[in-house]
Structure 1
Amino acid sequence: PAPAPVPEPAPVPGSVTPAPPVVAGAKGGLPIDPRAVALDSLDLEPRRVAPQDQPPEETAAERDRRMSAVHSAALAAEANARPWDRRRAAPELERQKDGSYLYEGGVFAALIEPDGSVEFSDRGGMHFKHGGAGESIGATMGFDATDAMYRRHGEDPYRAERRWFMRETRDLRDRLATEHRAQVADAGVARLRRRLVQIWSDSSRPVEARRAAIFRIWDALAEGEAGARAREAVLGFVRSRLPEGSPAAFPPGQLAALNRARSGGPAFDPY
């Protein structure tokens, strides 16, 4: 019988490197190293991290344009702000010796007269006539090219400021106007009474002529609140100095004749 094959001795570990496998179907049976294949499948190239995006450095011109845009936006927001979203402080007024009130603002000055009327003065413009100080007071406000441009077009560069001032001082001006009218009426009635006393005390004239002169004053008085008050003052004078039933009183016949000649309005009926 054939002799049994002698087994090959087992390889000593580390002493023999096994042959690489052959790729089936590869031309020429090229060997492929599995480790090389595994390493090739990995991206072992150093990864380049893109630098963080940053805007280029601003030039001076670009910075100026950006700041101008921010400033313009802030001005627009201020101009378009609704009035109820903010409350501007009322103008500071300084009372003068004659009862007027002086305001010196950033773009104009204003004088509220004792009768409630208002006089404005721009810097470099007109001057107040008195202002309670007994001398001319000039406003101390600037006048620039923008103002001149507005004025050349017939516009008031401070119109909004003046409207704000008039709105904020309305209550004060109304009160001053009311008080002034009352003072004027009081002064007028006082002058009227002095005139009536002068007429009635002129003994060089007949009593009938003096009575007619008193009537003519009454008839010439204007209509309205002031006129009605003055007429009442005339009637009060007649009742006091020419009372009914006295020798000085208006007789019925003269009253009738005078009323027929009156210019209009209510009848003259002091009694």
Structure 2
Amino acid sequence: MKSFKNYLLLGIATLSLLMTSCLGDGNTKQQLVVYGYVDFDMDIMQTALRTEVGPFNIPQLVSNNDYLKQYVGAMVEVNQNQQTSNKYVNATLLNTPQVFTSNSDVYNHVDDIVIEPNEKPIEEIAIPSNGSYLPLLVINDNLLLATSHKDSTDQRNNLKIYFSNKDQVTTTNINGQDYNCYTLYVRSFQTTPGNGVVKNAYKYTAFDISSFVSEKRLVEKQKSKAAFVILVKYISKINSDGTFEYATPADYHKVIVDTRLESSDSTN
């Protein structure tokens, strides 16, 4: 089993850690939020939540067909005294899992971005946590985004991801390490107008960016790079004259992608 300590140090699929005890006090239970894909795992020959650091056996989750072949986030409790395998982590579900809607609307920008009549700004693209935001995730070459919007009652929006071959590769530094950085753009389009009170609304989306990632992974492998970074940009303000502003990029708008993983391997 990948030890719980190593799981935390890797910090890939763990977006939030809520310690229930201090180190050394004898309490072996810990709570955390894990994100992954619910599917049959050939390595352990059973259905599991397949995360970037290995499978989680969560009986209450994997036994529910509503979550099968879905990207989900769930709060779980791990008891280190109840681990029975060196291939997966046993865990207990603590909340109703958050399902990410699968989306394959990924397009290449042929021209410069022009605001469309039904386009709406996005408030934020990361999951809020204790007054800050948690990093983005790429799992099985799907980009998991939690976007927030200012929507009126019954309003419906559709999200799309764009990239541009005109963009220049930049360099970004994360924790003292330089990476080549590629940009994706997420945009929101109103499909159904709403009525009533404007309120905060959240959308949880898993974008299939496998073609984009595969192309960049090959390029970076040829440069003998072990990883690269994807920066996700979004339009946070649209002016009446059609001009717009991007949100200021932050570290939590970036995600590191390993070049050594293929799409079919990235959750094993």
The bucket for the TM-score relative to the shorter chain is under 0.3
Bigger fraction of residues in helix: 1
Considering Cα pairs closer than 8 Å and 6+ residues apart, tell me whether 1 or 2 has the greater RCO. Answer: 2
Larger radius of gyration, structure 1 or 2?
Answer: 1
TM-score normalised to the size of structure 1? 0.18
Bigger fraction of residues in strand: 2
TM-score normalised to the size of structure 2? 0.18
